[in-house]
Amino acid sequence: MIGVFDSGFGGLTVHRALIEALPERDFTYLGDNRNAPYGVRPPIDVLNLTCAALERLFAEGCTLVVVACNTASTVALRWIQQQWLPVRRLEDGVRRNVIGIVVPTIEAATGILRGDGAALTVAVFATRRTVESDCYPSEIRKRRPEIAVVQQACPDLAGSIERGAPRGELRALVARYTGELLGRLGAAPECVILGCTHYPLVADLFAAALPPGVCMIHQPDATARALKLYLSRHPEYDGSHGGHRRFLSTGFSGEALPLIEKFWGGEVPFTQA
Ligand code: DGL
């Protein structure tokens, strides 16, 4: 069973792509709606909440978990992989792994940008906590030090998408954030990473606000490709083939139905975790 974790329902944008890429696999999705949003929480909260969510997914029988949330991936995942998982494994002897959304995104971005010596710039739009983690710039630097990375925190964007703000309001917000970034840069970036589960819903507004020709990474597709490849290399982490789906939320209520529909494109049978 593969677990997919997000701070809320936004990760459904990623989950959908994973299911489409691997329809035969069993998946359990967990949204921590009771504690969302993560993007404004102190890092220690993000870490503790992510560990608690992983425990919950392990208890559901997941041996591989994809952290779809950018904030959890950038703030907590490195420590979880290096420190927490090995200790956790000693406790019950079960081999489990947790993978995030950052590496697939970066691999997609650096794969597109050719290293022909030209100065290259990647722009990252994300929550404040993701930007402060400096995870995207440092991970890109490790692979391609010649690429410059500029970041733009969009503190009001995910919340506005969640509360169903009108398109005009979202357009104005996106224009403000892209304007701030382009103003600092003085030139168009070659590539843009929309580093938040919610931003695929306003990808068209980003495309319209950015200069033509800027390449935009689609995180759900990049993550689905990476998961498929990972499973072909590490079949020991998941052998499921029933196509079963479970959707859990720590804070599910009927009021969330329009939001779920927005992220998923239809109804989802969520149950309270
Ligand atoms: N899922 C979060 C992310 O991708 C956005 C929502 C939140 O702040 O919890 O960063």
CB 32 within 8 A of CB 53: yes
**pLDDT level of residue 47 (50, 70, 90 thresholds):** very high
Residue that is last in its domain, among 218, 243, 263: 218
Atom of ligand 1 nearest to the CA of 11: 1
Co-location of 88 and 116 in the same domain: no
Co-location of 184 and 141 in the same domain: yes
Co-location of 197 and 67 in the same domain: no
Name the helix (H) or strand (E) containing 126. strand 120-126
Co-location of 142 and 187 in the same domain: yes
Residue 55 has which token pair?
Answer: 């425990």
Q: Check: pTM over 0.85? Answer yes or no.
A: yes
Co-location of 91 and 155 in the same domain: no
Span 112-140, pLDDT tens digits: 877 665 669 999 999 999 999 999 999 99
Provide the domain count of the chain.
2
Which residue type does 131 have?
A: V
Ligand 1 proximity of 127 Cβ (cutoff 6 Å): yes
Co-location of 43 and 110 in the same domain: no
- Could you tell me which residues come within 8 angstroms of residue 173 by beta carbon, excluding any fewer than 6 positions away? 154, 156, 157, 160, 165
Residue 189 has which token pair?
Answer: 């970036």
Co-location of 202 and 241 in the same domain: no
Report the C-alpha gap between 103 and 145 in whole angstroms: 16
Catalytic residue among 51, 135, 191, 196: 196
The range of the structural domain enclosing residue 64 comes to 2-101+220-272
Residue 111 has which token pair?
Answer: 């794969």
Co-location of 9 and 71 in the same domain: yes
Name the helix (H) or strand (E) containing 86. helix 85-92
CB 86 within 8 A of CB 25: no
The domain that holds 214 is classified in CATH as: 3.40.50.1860
Co-location of 39 and 89 in the same domain: yes
Report the C-alpha gap between 52 and 75 in whole angstroms: 15
Higher pLDDT, 162 or 207: 207
Q: What's the chain's average pLDDT?
A: 94
The candidate with the shortest Cα–Cα distance to 65, out of 136, 130, 139, 1, is: 1
Ligand 1 proximity of 131 Cβ (cutoff 6 Å): no
Ligand 1 proximity of 158 Cβ (cutoff 6 Å): yes
Span 145-200, pLDDT tens digits: 999 999 999 999 999 998 889 999 999 999 999 999 999 999 999 999 999 999 99
Atom of ligand 1 nearest to the CA of 10: 1
Co-location of 226 and 214 in the same domain: no
196 is catalytic: yes
SS3 210: coil
- Could you tell me which residues come within 8 angstroms of residue 114 by beta carbon, excluding any fewer than 6 positions away? none
Co-location of 109 and 206 in the same domain: yes
pLDDT at position 239, please?
Answer: 87
Category of 250 on φ-ψ map: left (φ > 0), alpha (ψ -120 to 50) or beta: alpha
Co-location of 166 and 77 in the same domain: no
